[in-house]
Structure 1
């Protein structure tokens, strides 16, 4: 039975769904005009789906505790590789179109650039996304995993990071290189550099580690784990909701730079969502769609990079934020096909036969630049 195995099949399916979801979300954000994003039902729903980043973060934390790679050295190595992958992705997303002259004018004008072109290139390469957050977090959570053995100690660290997030938000060390590092940790200047600063977003990963540790203590009983997620999720929502809705300026302050109340509130709904998905998928039989999702889960990091690069390059063909929802839906299908085609090509280049049915899907941290 699935509940007695070390891996959690539901997480494989959720991570696979995130690959499909991010292609949909990113295509909309890049190609849909403002009206289609904010005023259409489909556009508003897709934008809402984009608020599900915490789902991926908590899943990442769980798999960090259940992965076969448990050494501190492995976490540091993989964290460094993720950070390098992030800079490589930014180079491919932004610099290649700029060099070959197919970056649309209205995209360049969006940032209001007037300085030297070299400075603009540096700006683009440094833009902080989920890969930077995941890489930096791995460097730190490796130490937590190594030295904090009590699951409640792990949870306390995650909540402490959330608690201080608003206090440290915006800290900047006005010195070359160090100022970028401080942005990665504490940025409050969205959308300039960092979309997902370590404070508060690492909290979600550490909360996931708490549940990963709990899962091991439950002897890999996923049914009990997700039941516990539901209970704690309800408590988190009850605690976070009044903070967000009554003291929102401090506790929410926008999706990308939440305070403690926002972290607890979003973590609560995420845990409830994970329980609901478990209830739906626990009785689901293996089929072509679940096999496809597990394939996406296994290649999550590479497919994340592929789809972003393709969508960014596509701006040179389709423009930037110009289309209605009908055209965007067609573009979503196109980018789906292209992303899977490129991933399939990479599989072949690595002399690996692309197999959709996987007996042992592995986590994002296990597949980084593998």
Structure 2
């Protein structure tokens, strides 16, 4: 018989409320950068291919997370507004997997140029500043907002992790 011990309340709070909630995404991104350092397959071209695959998987996840429930609720229940997808725009929501894909692509490109750690930090800081200044920008055309939302987090609120704002974390882990 296996006995399962309960974890202490303080340990449970630290894991659940500190590491598991507000810091989960930055920790994941930091670990992604660390993982690149220790990967045997971290050549620039492999990283770009892996990034493209991750980005496409992010869109596929959105299909299963947003589009299919919307379609099922509309078809089976006859109510298309139970699970709204904002005119299909949520299908292109930038979540952590899409961010990871774009990060791998950018890390691969930067790796090809063999930039120093100081230059990587400067690039990441500049991207973060630009991303913060441009966050929520409305380009006036929904398709442009979807495309540039991947990078700066345009108007519409469909971008949780725009590349420019969050790229500093994988760089920190890489360095």
**What TM-score does the superposition give when structure 2 sets the normalisation length?**
0.75
In the alignment, which of 11, 17, 26 is matched to residue 54 of structure 1? 26
Q: Which residue of 2 aligns with 1:168?
A: 134
In the alignment, which of 58, 67, 91 is matched to residue 95 of structure 1? 67
Counterpart check, 1:208 vs 2:154? no
Residue correspondence of structure 1 range 1-370 to structure 2 within 5 A: 46=16, 48=18, 49-52=20-23, 53-101=25-73, 108=81, 120=87, 122-175=88-141, 177-187=143-153, 189=155, 192-210=157-175
SS in 2 for 1:152: helix
More helix by share: 1
How many residues are matched? Answer: 158
Q: How far off is 1:69 after superposition?
A: 1.5
Distance 2:93 2:142 in 1: 16
Partner deviation per Cα, 1:2-55 (whole Å, 9 max, x = no partner): xxxxxxxxxxxxxxxxxxxxxxxxxxxxxxxxxxxxxxxx99x84553111111
Q: How far off is 1:109 after superposition?
A: 5.7
Distance 1:195 1:70 in 2: 26
**What TM-score does the superposition give when structure 1 sets the normalisation length?**
0.38
Q: 125-134 or 176-185, which moves further after superposition?
A: 176-185
Which entry has the higher C-alpha Rg, 1 or 2?
Answer: 1
Q: How far off is 1:206 after superposition?
A: 1.3
Distance 1:148 1:71 in 2: 11
Contact 1:157 1:206 in 2 (8 A): no
SS in 2 for 1:59: helix
Contact 1:169 1:199 in 2 (8 A): no
Distance 1:87 1:145 in 2: 25
Q: How far off is 1:57 after superposition?
A: 0.5
Question: Alpha carbons of 1:165 and 1:179: their partners in 2 closer, same or farther (altered >3 Å)?
Answer: closer
Q: How far off is 1:65 after superposition?
A: 2.4
Unaligned runs of 5+ in 2: 1-11
Distance 1:147 1:129 in 2: 28
SS in 2 for 1:50: coil
Partner deviation per Cα, 1:172-203 (whole Å, 9 max, x = no partner): 4334533211111111547x311111121111
Contact 2:145 2:155 in 1 (8 A): no
Question: Alpha carbons of 1:142 and 1:97: their partners in 2 closer, same or farther (altered >3 Å)?
Answer: same
Contact 1:172 1:186 in 2 (8 A): no
Q: Which residue of 1 aligns with 2:5?
A: none
